[in-house]
Amino acid sequence: MKQYTSNQKKKIVLIINKIRNKKAQALKFNISIRSYYYWKKQLEETGKIENESRKPKTSPKKYKNKKIINKVIEIRKKYKYGKVKIKKLLEKENIKIGTSAIERILKEHNLYNKRKKKIRKKHQGKHAIYIKEAGEKVQ
C-alpha cells in the first residue's frame, strides 16, 4: 500500500464520497475500503486526517532502571570486564539482568569495544621460495 500525505488522503476521501461504487474507486487509489472509511471518520470528527506515527509506543528492549545502568557503567569503567563477568558481579549483588541488556547498555554509552582480529602470517609450506636479497630470484 502506498504512503499518502494527509492532504492526499483528504482529496481521496472527497473524490470517493462523490461516487456510488466506493470499493472499486478505493481500489483504483490502491487503498482498502476500510482505510477509506477510517479516513472518512477521521475527517468528519476532527476536520483533518493526520498521519499516525509509526514509532512504537514503548520500546521493550530499552532498560529503564537507572541504578542498574549506572552500576553496569561503573563496573565497566573500573574493571574493564565484559558482559558475562559484569552479569556475574551483579548476580552476587542479587541484581538480575541479561547479558544482552548489559551489552546494549555498554553500546549506548560507547563502552563496548569489539576485539580486533589479529593479522596472521600466512604459512607457505615446503614450496616457498625465501628471498634474502633483492634480485636474488632474477637470473
SS3 48: coil
List CB contacts of 92: < 8 A, sequence separation 6 or more.
Answer: none
Per run of 10 residues, the mean pLDDT along the chain (length 139 residues) is: 81 89 89 90 87 77 86 93 94 92 91 79 70 71
CA–CA dist 55, 119 (Å, integer): 43
pLDDT at 64: 82
Cell numbers at residue 87, please? 552479569
pTM of the model: 0.46
pLDDT at 139: 61
pLDDT at 119: 82
Domain boundaries defined on the chain: 6-46, 66-108
